Amino acid sequence: MIIVLRSEATQKEVDEVVARLKNLGFGAHVSRGVERTIIGAIGDEREVDLEEKIGVLPFVERVIPVLAPYRLTSREFRPADTVVKVGEAEIGGGKVTVIAGPCAVESEKQILEVAHRVKEAGAKILRGGAFKPRTSPYSFQGLGELGLRLLARAREETGLPIVTEALGVEELSLVAQYADAIQIGARNMQNFRLLEAVGKLRKPVLLKRGMMSTVDEFLMSAEYVLAQGNYQVILCERGIRTFEPSTRNTLDLSCVPLIKSRSHLPIVVDPSHGTGRSDLVEPMSLASLVAGADGLIVEVHPNPVEALSDGPQSITPFQFSSLMEEVKKITRLLGKEI
């Protein structure tokens, strides 16, 4: 249920509603807007008639049932777009934010070169994997903590905040020491214990859609993070598995406007994983922005042929600079900022 308070409701009255909900066995999540304060009641609504218990209060405007299974992620709970801040970069709110960097951190020379080049081209956040989930146990698994230290070095030199993946609860605290935002990868989208743990950290979270997950399942995974009190979630469409073998995945751009209509959370698109082909990165990046994406996450490597991970889908720094020129043109046409 969503409880909408009257515009003149005081903090004392907000606290009274929260206290009443807790006494009734509900969790309470408060969202303060410009004109209204909304309280999300989380619990089993079959046991208690909230309209009867809460709706009768004079400072309550109305009690609204939420039909979607995700409560806090929904537009009903927060009608305005959420803007997530990663370092000094902002995702959402009419801006286009580009995240770029290599799939995996391979060496100090590699990550520093890429970091400087993508910043010069206009990227606002640096991505790079220190812990890599690979299909084969014999593939490069990342440099671990050394990779995190190299990312921190790149941040120190360029000023770019960094986003990197945590594979499990075990290394989450280590990743959190270095990262400005924590990525939850597609394979972990429904690792609910990890989602709960990252929700308790109060750090921005980049949540990637599972390769075989529906939009509702995707938003329910985000709900796990928000339910812990962390509303700093960035959704990421990175392609889903279909019968089409010509691309690594099928990039589902229809989910962007769909999610925008259902959720207040920002969404970025990953055309690198979404297609698995470097020649498709630019056209799908531009299509993503036209579809309404709040940003992009692009894999960039100084020499994709020699990349230890995902070389075929990585573009060079030169290609990234060219892409960014087109991104800036599209952004201006859309009336957005970059």
The model's pLDDT over 299-336, given as tens digits with 9 standing for 90+, comes to: 999 999 999 989 999 999 999 999 999 999 999 999 99
Q: What token pair was written down for 17?
A: 């509603």
Report which residue type is found at 226: L
DSSP string, 138-207: TS----THHHHHHHHHHHHHH---EEEE--SHHHHHHHHHH-SEEEE-GGGTT-HHHHHHHHTTTS-EEE
Mean pLDDT of the chain: 93
**Domain 84-333 falls under CATH 1.10.3720.10:** no
Residues of the chain with CATH 3.20.20.70: 84-333
Residues of the chain with CATH 3.30.70.1140: 2-64
The model's pLDDT over 178-217, given as tens digits with 9 standing for 90+, comes to: 999 999 999 999 999 999 999 999 899 999 999 999 999 9
Q: Facing residues of 63 across strands?
A: 3
CATH superfamily of the domain spanning 2-64: Phospho-2-dehydro-3-deoxyheptonate aldolase; domain 1 (3.30.70.1140)
Using an 8 Å Cβ cutoff, are 4 and 61 in contact?
A: yes
Indicate the pTM of the whole model: 0.89
Per-10-residue mean pLDDT, the chain, length 338: 86 89 87 81 78 85 81 90 97 96 96 98 97 71 90 98 96 96 97 97 96 97 95 97 96 98 97 97 98 98 94 97 98 94
Alpha helices in the chain (DSSP H): 11-23, 50-53, 108-121, 145-158, 169-178, 192-199, 215-226, 255-262, 271-275, 281-291, 317-333
